[in-house]
Structure 1
Amino acid sequence: MGESSASYIRMVQHLIEKCLLFHMTKEECMEALSRHANINPVITSTVWKELEKENKEFFDAYMKSREDEMAEMEIKQMIQKMISQSSTGD
């Protein structure tokens, strides 16, 4: 692999790490990098998969954290819905 290819992969890795800071899924990251950095989603997916292989414990914890966040958001939405229904007399 040439230096420019390695450099490109490092750049994609860096952008994926930025996506992780924003708690994005792989699909959200692929979309964001495609739209904003003109990176082919296949490239992003491939680099993401390699990062997952190299950092299994991190990605396991990351996915668990995302699942917990999603569950918490669902609970908050249900509570908001119950509150708004009770305030309107439904």
Structure 2
Amino acid sequence: MGDSSASYIHLVHHLIEECIIFNMSKEECMEVLSKHANIKPIITSIVWKELEKENREFF
């Protein structure tokens, strides 16, 4: 599971970055990824929070 989990998280990370490019809020991003990429909002939220921790100056 390890490698596929890492690639899934990387995918979610990439999609969140795409949402940010389009100036979406966290909530908008969770909704869009749920609707169009079938990613559960909780997953998007967790990855988003980790990105915030790693990039405090950006967020």
Give the TM interval when normalised to the shorter protein: over 0.9
Counterpart residue number, 2:52:
52
Q: Which has the higher contact order (CA 8 A, sep 6+)?
A: 2
Q: What's the secondary structure of 2:52's corresponding residue?
A: helix
Q: How far apart in 1 are the matches of 2:55 and 2:3? A: 24
- Amino acid paired to 1:33: L
Task: Using structure 2 for the length normalisation, give the TM-score.
Answer: 0.98
Question: TM-score, normalized by length of structure 1?
Answer: 0.64
Per-residue deviation, residues 10-44 of structure 1 (Å, max 9, x unmatched): 00000000000000000000000000000000000
Q: Which amino acid aligns with 2:58?
A: F
Greater helix proportion:
1
Question: Can you give the 5+ residue segments of structure 1 that lack an aligned partner in the other structure?
Answer: 60-90
Deviation, 1:50, is: 0.1
2:43 & 2:36 partners in 1: Cα distance? 14
Q: What is the alpha-carbon distance in structure 1 between the residues aligned to residue 22 and residue 7 of structure 2?
A: 23
The Cα RMSD (Å) is 0.8
Structure 2 alignment gaps of length 5 or more? none
Stretches (4+) displaced over 4 A: none
Q: Which has the larger radius of gyration?
A: 1
- For residue 2 of structure 1, report the CA deviation from its aligned partner: 0.3
